A and B are shown apart, each in its own frame.
Chain A
Amino acid sequence: MSETHDDFEPRITAFVCNWCTYTGADLAGTSRLHMASNVRIIRLPCTGRIDPLFIVKAFERGADGVIVSGCHPADCHYTSGNYHARRRFAVFHDIMQFIGVDPRRMTFSWVSASEGAKWKDVVDEAVRSVRELGPFEAYRALAPDAGAASPTGEAKPAPAATTEVTP
C-alpha cells in the first residue's frame, strides 16, 4: 500500500472546534494560503463535543480520512473540553489501530485561531498521507450492498478480502 494514488482525490471530513481551529481555518482562507481542497469542515462547539462515533460515521459515509482539531491545551473556551477529548481520542486512536484502521487516516491536531499556516500544514499532510493510502475501500466493502447481495438469499456478505501476508 505504498504506491501513490495520483488520480485519487481523498474525501476528508474535519471535525473542528468553533473557537480555535475553525477560526484558524478561516484565517488560512482569508490569508489566501494555498492548500488541498479535499477537506469538508464540520464545526462543533468544542472538541469535547466530538463523539468518536462521528468519526466512525464519517468512514461509514465514505470518508477516506478524518481530521479532528481544536484548541491547544489550556486554551479551551470551556476550560477542559479539549482535555477530556484528548483522553477519548487517545483511546479511540489506539483501538481503531487495533482493529486495523491505519492511524494515518485519522489526524488529530491543535490549531489555534492564529495558526492559519498550521491548519494548511495539517490539511496538506492529511491529504498527502491519505492519498498515499488510497481510497478507504476496506471500509466501503462493509456496505450491505457492496459484496454478496446474492439473489439466492445468502444472509451474510463475504468478509472483507484479506491480503496474504505472513506475520
Chain B
Amino acid sequence: MTEAAPVYTGVDDLRRIARELLEAGDVRVIIGYENARVGARPVFVTDPADADKLIFDTRCVHNLVTYLNPRRDHVAELGKIGLVVKGCDAKAVAGLLRESQLKRDDVVLIGVRCGGVLEASELPAALALTPENVAPRCYGCDNREPTLTDHLVGEPQPEPPRPVMTIDERVAALDGLPAEERWAFWTEQFSKCVRCYACRQVCPLCVCEQCIVEKTQPQWIEPSAHPRGNVSWNVTRALHLAGRCVDCGECERFCPVGIPLSLVNRKLQQIVAERYDYKVSDDPENVAPIGDYRLDDQQEFIK
C-alpha cells in the first residue's frame, strides 16, 4: 500500500477552477482552505487573483459545508458559493439537499480526492498520516472520491492508515462495560460541558431556525451547565443527528472541553446501520432513516 503524501495532488487544478469560476462570475466566493498564522483554516476567496491562496493537504480537516447552513446569513450575503469538498463533506451537502435546506444550483462543488486528514489542523506544515496522527474517522472511509461534485481534482488516493484504536473499537470497548460504568463514563464526560453549543454551531446539519435548547415555553432543556441539563442536551443533540450525522467530527473537534462526541455519533450510525441497513452517503436521494419507516421494522424492544 502506498502512503499518501502530506500535500494532496490537484491543488493547481483547484486554484485554476476557482479562478475561472470567479472570473466567469459563476460564483462570487470560493470557500476553501488556506495557510494561516498557525495551521490551515477556511478562506473566503472573492478576488480571482487570490485563488492561489487555496491549499489542500492533510491539515484540511474542516467541514466547510457548515458555511452553506441556512443559518449563516453573513456568508449567504456574499453571493453564490463555490465550495471545496472532501468526500465526507459532500455527504453533508447531500444532507442539506435531502432536507431542502439548499438548492443544488445554489452551489458549485469542487471535489477533492482525499486520502485522509490529520486529527488536528493547527500545525505549521502538513504531515504524512500515521496511526498516531490520523483522524480516526478517516479509517474505513467509503467516499474518498466524492460523487456529488461539479469538478473533481487530484489523483486517486490510497487508504488512510488504521488509527491506533478505531472509533468502532472504542465504541465496542464501551459497549463491553457494565451499564453502571458506561453511565459513570458518560455522565462524567457530559458534566464537563459548558453549554457553549459549539457542537451545534459548527454542525453542518444542525439547521433548525430555533434550536430545541432555545425553546423556553416550555423550557425543555435546562440552560445551565449542571450535569442533569448537560445529559439532556447532549442526548438530544445526538438524537437529532441520528441517521443524519455524516461523521465529519467537527462537533468533537470544536468542543472546548473535549467531550468524545464522535463515540455517541458513531454509536448512532451503528444503530441505524444495524436496524435499518442505512449508511449515510453523498447521494441526496438516499432517504434518511428517521422520518421514514418500513412496515416490518424491528420491534424486539416493544412489548
Does A144 reach chain B (CB closer than 8 Å)? yes
A167 to B133, CA, bound (A): 28
Q: Which of B258-274 contact A (CB under 8 A)?
A: 264, 267-268, 271-272
Q: Which of A109, A144, A163 contacts B302 (CB 8 A)?
A: A109
**Whole-angstrom distance from the CB of A118 to the nearest CB of chain B?**
8
Closest B residue by C-beta to A94: B271
User: Given A160-B184, A167-B181, do A98 and B174 touch, yes or no (CB 8 Å)?
Assistant: yes
**Whole-angstrom distance from the CB of B276 to the nearest CB of chain A?**
7
B227 contact set on A, CB distance < 8 A: 142, 144, 157, 159-160
Q: Are B232 and A99 in contact (CB under 8 A)?
A: no
Q: Are A53 and B179 in contact (CB under 8 A)?
A: no
Does A37 reach chain B (CB closer than 8 Å)? no
Interface string of A140-167 (1 = CB under 8 A from B): 0011100000000000110111110101
A98 to B221, CA, bound (A): 21
Q: Which of B235, B289, B302 contacts A95 (CB 8 A)?
A: B235
User: Given A57-B220, A91-B239, A157-B191, do A163 and B180 touch, yes or no (CB 8 Å)?
Assistant: yes
Q: Which of A104-130 contact B (CB under 8 A)?
A: 107-110, 122, 125
Interface of B is mostly: helix
A103 to B302, CA, bound (A): 11
B53 contact set on A, CB distance < 8 A: none
B191 contact set on A, CB distance < 8 A: 142, 156-157, 159
Q: Are A87 and B290 in contact (CB under 8 A)?
A: yes
Q: Are B232 and A60 in contact (CB under 8 A)?
A: yes
User: Given A56-B232, A87-B289, A87-B293, do A93 and B180 touch, yes or no (CB 8 Å)?
Assistant: no
A16 to B267, CA, bound (A): 28
A90 to B271, CA, bound (A): 9
Closest B residue by C-beta to A1: B180
Does A86 reach chain B (CB closer than 8 Å)? yes
A-B pairs with beta carbons under 8 Å apart, 20 shown: A53-B236, A56-B232, A73-B299, A83-B295, A84-B291, A86-B297, A86-B299, A87-B293, A91-B268, A95-B268, A96-B235, A97-B179, A100-B180, A101-B183, A109-B303, A144-B227, A144-B229, A160-B184, A167-B176, A167-B181
Q: Besides the contacts A90-B297, A108-B303, what 12 more A-B pairs have beta carbons closer than 8 Å? A: A53-B220, A87-B289, A87-B297, A95-B264, A98-B182, A98-B267, A99-B186, A100-B180, A100-B181, A103-B301, A156-B192, A163-B178
